[in-house]
Chains A and B, each alone.
Chain A
């Protein structure tokens, strides 16, 4: 079976600025791979290229075995996406959001309606089945967006900062759900600013800065390689130490 995602020498330029400057990575089936980096590092552009929403200037992408962007539409049939900003349909209830989204995959209403109760339960939103989206909290919306991304039972999940803006309770619930999905054999590509999130979820990760991958490996290996001695005697070295060492401390936005 083809790798869930294979990116080779990907390049994207906006004007004079090369936002993605030749990056390569591949995901193995069943793993969670993290893309970390400060704002403007090129993470979201990389994801948009992978999904076929932006045409790259160079390199090659194969998602679930399909060349992107040439066959992006076919590739996205087997992918679920949680975008950085909520774009649930405000005119619909929670269940209608799932129904309408399932139709975009060409699924018939009987198949979709059979999946909706299970997905709402997964998202902890059974009591909100008929509730309007406008009445949901931020955490509920994120969980519903995650449920929506699962409507087509995808092989690969692409999550762009899935817990940004959530309180710790809501964040932990999302992490628990994502761990459940990994246990079910789903493959996940994740971008995040939360080092704790990356340490908990990602088997492997890559740190991006200025459009390049500057480090790649398991969280433990990256910590051992870059921070042999903890900067504080009060705690062990962690991924945040690695991140700050590699990308510097000045603000990026």
Chain B
């Protein structure tokens, strides 16, 4: 059996999504607050602490304050982190520990539907995380125009782009311990090389080239101008990179999960 055959998807994926939503609804408020705390601490700590040392309205920060620059990056990084946590720890619990996926597949739901439902669930939860920060940022007066509303679909796309590789890692992971490597080798370096904390042109030219290959760079390039009231440069390129990341990684994740569970 070819595990990497094209996905055969159905509307039953919605039932999988709704299952996760129903669980989340029970703990919605603590979950949102918990997701907000960490990025907020970074944003205020670095934004005011470090930002206070810098002159206002630096051109390198798009002509605004450092905290406004950082806030936009935080929206992206936080979306990435939420999508990663959901598809690593939470999805792994459902797949391996609780055998929830196995139970679902006893009904007329294919593994393809399960993995698709998980992808969209993680993206939705990540969107909530990103949008929650966006709201806080807007309340602080750091958002310049209603163009920022376009950041919401971009946040969702970011969620998909990071949920899909998370599902690959989950499909391969023997245990939770394995996830640490993904964060230390992939997520953390990406956060520092994608223009979240400082402009990319501060990096050496060689590293800048690498940055252009990182999906988070494209998410930041899409979302930060929107929060500053500007139209992003080459938006279609950034959208295409994030969408391609989601599609290709979903396919690989599905193939690896089929190999893990269906043989």
Chain A interface (Cβ < 8 Å from any Cβ of B): 51, 53-55, 72-77, 81, 83, 85, 87-92, 96, 100-101, 103-106, 149, 152
Q: Which of A51, A54, A83 lies in contact with B103, CB distance below 8 A?
A: A83
Report the minimal beta-carbon distance from B100 to chain A, rounded to whole angstroms: 6
Do B106 and A100 have beta carbons less than 8 Å apart?
no
Residues of B within 8 A of A96 (CB): 22
Question: Contacts A104-B104, A106-B108 given: A92-B23 contact, CB under 8 Å?
Answer: yes
Judged by a CB distance under 8 angstroms, whether B180 is at the interface is no
Task: Give the dominant DSSP class at A's interface.
Answer: loop
Total A-B Cβ pairs within 8 A: 66
Do A87 and B107 have beta carbons less than 8 Å apart?
no
Closest to B97 in A: A90
Do A88 and B103 have beta carbons less than 8 Å apart?
yes
Judged by a CB distance under 8 angstroms, whether B262 is at the interface is yes
Report the minimal beta-carbon distance from A218 to chain B, rounded to whole angstroms: 29
Question: Contacts A54-B263, A91-B23 given: A101-B98 contact, CB under 8 Å?
Answer: no
Judged by a CB distance under 8 angstroms, whether B109 is at the interface is yes
Number of interface residues of B (CB under 8 A): 25
Judged by a CB distance under 8 angstroms, whether B260 is at the interface is no
Residues of B within 8 A of A100 (CB): 15, 18-19, 22
Q: Which of A55, A77, A83 lies in contact with B108, CB distance below 8 A?
A: A77
Q: How distant is the Cα of A105 from the Cα of B10 in the complex, in angstroms?
A: 12
16 more A-B contacts (CB under 8 A) besides A73-B108, A87-B99, A106-B11? A55-B262, A73-B10, A77-B108, A83-B106, A87-B98, A87-B103, A88-B103, A89-B19, A89-B98, A91-B23, A96-B22, A100-B18, A103-B19, A104-B104, A104-B108, A149-B106
Do B98 and A104 have beta carbons less than 8 Å apart?
no
Residues of A within 8 A of B100 (CB): 87, 89
Q: Which of B15, B18, B22, B109 lies in contact with A73, CB distance below 8 A?
A: B109
